[in-house]
A and B are shown apart, each in its own frame.
Chain A
Amino acid sequence: MASKAKTDKTPAKADDKQIKVDKWDGSALKNALDDATKKVLIEDMGYEESHRLMDGRLAICTLSVGFAMFALAWDYLHPFPQSRPVLIFCVTSYFFMMGVLTLYTTLKEKGCFLVALDKDKAGIDPPNVWTFVSQVKRYDDQYTLYATYVDAKTKAVRTANFTKSVAQFFDVDGNLCSDYFEVEVRKLHSGLSSEKKHK
């Protein structure tokens, strides 16, 4: 059974780049599909990836870990009763940064894993922005991909999404069948960009 399904679905160019995941691990499946989306937009369509959101989160995390490590070092060099004011400062800053991180992920990132910039060839106009958010409910097989397109010139915002079972993109062994998934992503993408041309 297993080998048959594999020959049916695995793309012909099954090279060593074949992505294989643990098919019972929901987040691994989601990550693999997110990465595949990224590959289509960035590598195949030539959009530029914007790392601003991720960099923001990294900065917040680095700063909070920095506070903790500083507190640890200071407390080691100046044992407890002396280090009290520094500890108070570091502990409050750390928990404040944790609050900031929670706000950042829920209000700013909102589960967004890819911001792709469609740059103007002449380099005059600001780029059109594609934002992708994906969602898999816990213990669920339905993968939802939301795409948002912001046109730089008209400021028009368009959204689209599709929901498919992950079973359509992975074979029984957990190999990603990227051809099947790419079709869906391209459909989503062309749906939004063709709308642009009709206007």
Chain B
Amino acid sequence: MTNENNEPATTGRELVTTNDRTVRTIVVNGREHRFADDRIGHDQLARLAFPTLAERESRSLVASFGGGPADHERGVVPFGGTVEIAQGQRFNVCVTDKS
């Protein structure tokens, strides 16, 4: 997994394949990341969104997505689970602590 927040946006829906692994660009909370796996986990999204958050705390984050694969275009990432990703997929990860 790479985390290159400040890298210029990738062009269009370009995919890069290295060592048989497809690197896709995903957007987490408005920031682009290049991600070298077919699936991404709730914990990985938590770290991309809030790198300084304690692991115990990050387990309670709510992660949702749009622009996913054709058969699962939008949804909620299960707590402790993973989802398949598509190039350009957008994730929103939030701390639901306000009322």
Answer yes or no: do A and B interact.
Answer: no
B residues contacting A by CB (< 8 A) are none
